[in-house]
Structure 1
Amino acid sequence: MHRIVKPKNKRSKRFLDAKESQIIENTKTAMFIRGSQTSDVVNNALKEIYIMKKPNAVMFTKKNNIRPFEDFTSLEFFSNKNDTSLFVFGSHNKKRPHNIVMGHLYDYHLLDMFELGIESFQSMNSFKNTKLTVGSKPCLVFAGELFNSDHSYKRLKYFLINFFRGPMVQNVRLAGLEHVLSFTAVDGKVVLKSYKTLLKKSGTKTPRVELEEIGPSMDLVMRRTHLATTDLYKRSLKVPKTAKPKKRKNISIDAFKTTHGRVHMEKQDLGNLQTRKMKALKRVREEKKQKEAAAKKQRTAAANV
């Protein structure tokens, strides 16, 4: 249970209101923490993931003696203090060399956590080309059957989307799509590669797209996982009613994004509908004679009565 803090002035009230649950979520912030022992590979990996996550990131300068899988209360405390819902923790020891732990929290409580080992690492400096601008929204590409078949990899895929997706936007112009992050699950590894899109002339209005690797590049091996319970996971995905779009009556959209509308009208009496007078629609004389004779018989029978 968290301690209930009452605001003393308007400034503290605005700060506490910003930390509460929002109907429309803001861009999630990540905190980067170093353990008591780290390696150069882990330090460089934390720095470069931090660069890709900026400006929605907080880097801790001091080392912290934390063991996330044994006691994660420190992570929840740092999350509440810094108002962050994502974290990356780096450590290094003989049993688990070049180790990073990534996870996310819901309502300042741990949700999912993944321990990944760095088998190979190439920094951005090893690729001699232009780098990306800070805060660019990446295009995420996932390849590999494990992301669809294995439960742990499914949750890892959701976490990576949650971590790297950036701010929510309505439209993206073609020239603004300049960063591609590729995640490939193969042979029990997750290969992370970062590319920059190059728009080349193609002779038509649509340019030819090429990918240029800019780093970082990592081969990650999943070592341990801590997954939330089904109830907690479903609660974290629940969308409030006020955030759901209101359904408009009698309007539907098909698979081709075409809008269809239904108009309700009163029932029409088609018996009195005036049609065009044509010979084909005129009654035959014999039919007229038969109807006139039947009407004459009815009148005679009524007169006799």
Structure 2
Amino acid sequence: MLKTIKPKNARTKRILKKREPKVEENVKTAIFIRGSTTSQVVNDALSDLCRLRRSNSINFTKKNNIHPFDDDTSLDFYCAKNDSSLFVIGSHSKKRPHNLVFGRMFDGQVLDMIEVGIEKAITMNEIKTPKCSMGMKPLFIFNGELFETSQVHKTFKNMMLDFYRGQTMESINVSGLEYVISITATGSITSSDNTVPSTFDGKIFFRVYTIQMTKSGQKVPRVELEDMGPNYEFKFRRTRFAKEEVYKIATKIPKTLKPKKVKNVGVNEIGDKVGRIHVGRQDLGKLQTRKMKGLKRMSEDNDRTEDWSRKKRKA
């Protein structure tokens, strides 16, 4: 762990203040680290995944002797030094070829990690199509029931949303939606603890598409998806989930960010706002009816109809 630093000037004090816990967090920084041995597939995957979030990412081009599942002390050091809470570690060995480890940090320690192997890969440079602009937020599509039932798939989904969430926006411009990340899960998990068994043959298909908006003759444009890359086929390997107590603390919402409860106002199942109004008992005895034009006109009309019916009877 890094030792506590006492600020010696105003610049250092500002930097340390930015790293302090906040009610509204800054955009998370991700570091992409190469292990002691890597392959060209792993190097290309690290650079392409880093390009998808260029504005808040650091790509380590040198090799580092780091093994997160065996010893995470050096990983804690790198994350603390670069003020990053997200990391991806690439490695390659005979036992685990073309390996990637996605992970998150909390309170200076590793929160959870998921290890995947790259079965097939197509880089961005291999696909000769236009790329998205820098700093744009992606749309996400998660296909497969496993993202709702399996613990490892739920964690992986949450991790991907954390990696590419970006800055929180209050409003969205349609022209700013430039690319889509589609993640599809196949296979099934039959283990009781929802972890990945050794016989699991399912895969994760990671695809990235650009959004092409063309004229449709209406106000809403016609939307088409064009392959941008990178494209991967992942296979789950090792996992390390966060403890339940630690995960509750990490996902706890501060009281200042919780919406204030309004009395007698709620939301129904559809999402519509529903309110209840209490009205006192009305006293009809004090209701003024003499000088009401509506009632007076009705009485005149009734007199005319009665006169007309009498004349008709006499005739």
TM-score (norm 2): 0.83
In the alignment, which residue of structure 1 is the partner of 2:64? 64
1:211 corresponds in structure 2 to 225
Structure 1 residue 257: Cα displacement: 6.3
Q: CA deviation at 1:125?
A: 1.3
Among 219, 226, 235, the alignment partner of 2:240 is 226
Q: Deviations over 1:84-117 (max 9, x none)?
A: 0000000001110000111011122111101110
1:201 counterpart residue number = 215
Q: From the superposition, tell whether residues 268 and 139 of structure 1 become closer, same or farther in structure 2 (CA, over 3 Å).
A: same
Is 1:120–2:120 an aligned residue pair?
yes
Considering fraction of residues, name the structure with more helix: 1
Moved more, 92-101 or 3-12: 3-12
1:244 to 255, 258, 261: 258
- Report the identity percentage: 49
What SS does the aligned partner of 2:125 have?
helix
Match of 1:59, SS state, is strand
Distance (whole Å) between structure 2 residues aligned to residue 55 and residue 155 of structure 1 = 24
SS in 1 for 2:171: coil
Q: Distance between the aligned counterparts of 2:5 and 2:125, measured in 1?
A: 46
TM-score scaled by length of structure 1: 0.85
SS in 2 for 1:32: strand
Q: 1:171 to 1:254 in 2, by over 3 A?
A: farther
Name the SS of the counterpart of 1:157 in structure 2: helix
Aligned to 1:140: 140
Q: Which structure 2 residue ranges, 5 or more long, are not aligned? A: 188-201, 299-315
Alignment partners' CA distance in 1, 2:77 and 2:184: 33
Counterpart position of 1:177: 177
Supply the distance in 2 between the matched residues of 1:30 and 1:196 (Cα, whole angstroms). 23
Query: In structure 2, what residue type is equivalent to 1:93?
Result: S
- Aligned-partner SS, 2:220: coil
Name the SS of the counterpart of 1:220 in structure 2.
strand
Question: Within the alignment, does 1:50 sit opposite 2:50 as a pair?
Answer: yes
Is 2:26 the counterpart of 1:26? Answer: yes
> For residues 166 and 252 of structure 1, do their structure 2 counterparts lie closer, same or farther at Cα, with a shift above 3 Å needed?
same
Instruction: Give the whole-Å Cα distance in 2 for the aligned partners of 1:162 and 1:124.
Output: 22
Letter in 2 for 1:270: L
The answer as to whether partners of 2:91 and 2:98 remain within 8 angstroms in 1 is yes
Mapped partners of 1:264, 1:9: distance in 2: 60
Match of 2:104 in 1: 104
Partner of 2:161: 161
Aligned partners of 2:259, 2:46: CA distance in 1, in Å?
Answer: 38
Which segment is superposed worse, 249-258 or 10-19? 249-258
Aligned-pair RMSD on alpha carbons?
2.4
| 1:69 shift after superposition | 0.4
